[in-house]
């Protein structure tokens, strides 16, 4: 997790400005500045790729960051609502400028609530996805003792990632994890991940797999295999695709060779 120097400086400046307004009794202004500072700080956070990270870690980080974004927006919303209430109690609506200010506050509150809902839904999706990846990752970890190379989150060169990549004595497989039911668009995602892994490993073929979040026996859908996580490892061990040299694969992926 990292920020650029100017982003860190801007966050510190926002915190100081919020403290100064708080010191002079401008509580609502201080809270608004603090809320937007937290939101913008979380918005600018980026994550470094780590091939050794546990399954679901990346999605869990996104959940935490988007939760921080929601928290920042909630702080700003509460401050805005409080300002609106104070304005109404002091009869701002009786003056033209006061009426304009109140309508502006109403508009900001509506926008904030819509954004909070959108980012809250996104955060929940990341959390559900993280749990699904953790479940699949835990299943795949048992393959290490059987001579397989197991990688969680292989970052693609042009955005996105392969949720899980496993290769060993029974072949190479790019696995996309989904928390819900099967949808045909997932086949295209798995195929794209398999093509990237194939190019990265220098292999003639990588099998695309979609791991779904409900009971689903191994079934071929187009060129991708679809199944639930409880069937995944037994299915992999039953395959007889071309064996992959795991040391060579680790070298191609620039990983430490055991």
The domains of the chain are located at 5-138, 147-252
Q: What's the topology of domain 147-252?
A: Trna Endonuclease; Chain: A, domain 1 (3.40.1350)
For position 4, what pLDDT does the model report?
80
| Res. 2: pLDDT tops 80 | no
Mean pLDDT of 111-124: 96
pLDDT over 80 (residue 123): yes
Confidence of residue 25 (pLDDT cuts 50, 70, 90): confident
Q: What is the pLDDT of residue 52?
A: 66
Give Cβ neighbours of residue 91 (< 8 Å, ≥ 6 apart): 98
Tell me the residue length of the chain: 258
Contact at 8 Å (CB) between 156 and 196?
yes
Q: Provide the 3-class DSSP secondary structure of residue 167.
A: strand
This prediction's pTM: 0.81
Task: Please choose, from the candidates 138, 173, 118, the residue with its C-alpha nearest in 3D space to the C-alpha of residue 56.
Answer: 138
- pLDDT greater than 90 at residue 254: no
134-172 pLDDT, tens digit each: 999 999 999 999 999 999 989 888 878 899 999 999 999
Q: What is the pLDDT of residues 173-202, one digit of tens each?
A: 999 999 989 999 999 999 999 999 999 999
**Quick one: what percent of the chain has pLDDT higher than 90?**
69
**pLDDT digit string, tens, across residues 64-114:** 999 999 999 999 999 999 999 999 998 888 888 889 999 999 999 999 999
Residue 60 pairs in a beta bridge with: none
Please report, for residues 80, 171, 172, 173, 175, the alpha-carbon distance to residue 208 in angstroms, rounded to integers and kept in the order given: 49, 11, 9, 6, 6
Could you write out the three-class secondary structure of 181-220?
CCCCHHHHHHHHHHHHHHHHHCCCCCEEEEEECCCCCCEE
């Amino acid at each position: 997790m990292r920020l650029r120097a100017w982003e860190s400086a801007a966050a510190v400046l926002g915190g100081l400005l919020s403290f100064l307004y708080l010191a002079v009794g401008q509580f609502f202004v201080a809270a608004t500045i603090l809320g937007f500072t937290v939101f913008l700080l979380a918005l600018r956070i980026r994550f470094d790729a780590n091939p050794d990270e546990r399954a679901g870690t990346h999605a869990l980080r996104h959940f935490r960051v988007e939760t921080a974004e929601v928290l920042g927006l909630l702080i700003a919303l509460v401050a805005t609502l409080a300002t609106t209430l104070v304005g109404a109690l002091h009869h701002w609506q009786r003056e033209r400028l006061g009426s304009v200010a109140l309508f502006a506050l109403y508009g900001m509150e509506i926008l904030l609530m819509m954004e909070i809902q959108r980012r809250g839904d996104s955060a929940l999706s990341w959390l559900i996805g993280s749990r699904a990846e953790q479940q699949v990752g835990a299943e795949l970890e048992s393959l290490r003792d059987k001579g397989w190379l197991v990688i969680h989150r292989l970052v693609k060169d042009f955005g996105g990632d392969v949720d899980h990549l496993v290769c060993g004595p029974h072949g190479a497989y790019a696995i996309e994890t989904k928390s819900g039911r099967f949808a045909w668009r997932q086949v295209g995602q798995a195929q794209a991940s398999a093509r990237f892994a194939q190019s990265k490993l220098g292999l003639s073929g990588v099998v695309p797999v979609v791991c779904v979040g409900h009971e689903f026996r191994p079934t071929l859908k187009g060129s991708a295999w679809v199944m639930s996580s409880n069937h995944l490892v037994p299915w992999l061990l039953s395959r007889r695709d071309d064996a992959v040299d795991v040391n060579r694969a680790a070298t191609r992926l620039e990983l430490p060779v055991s």
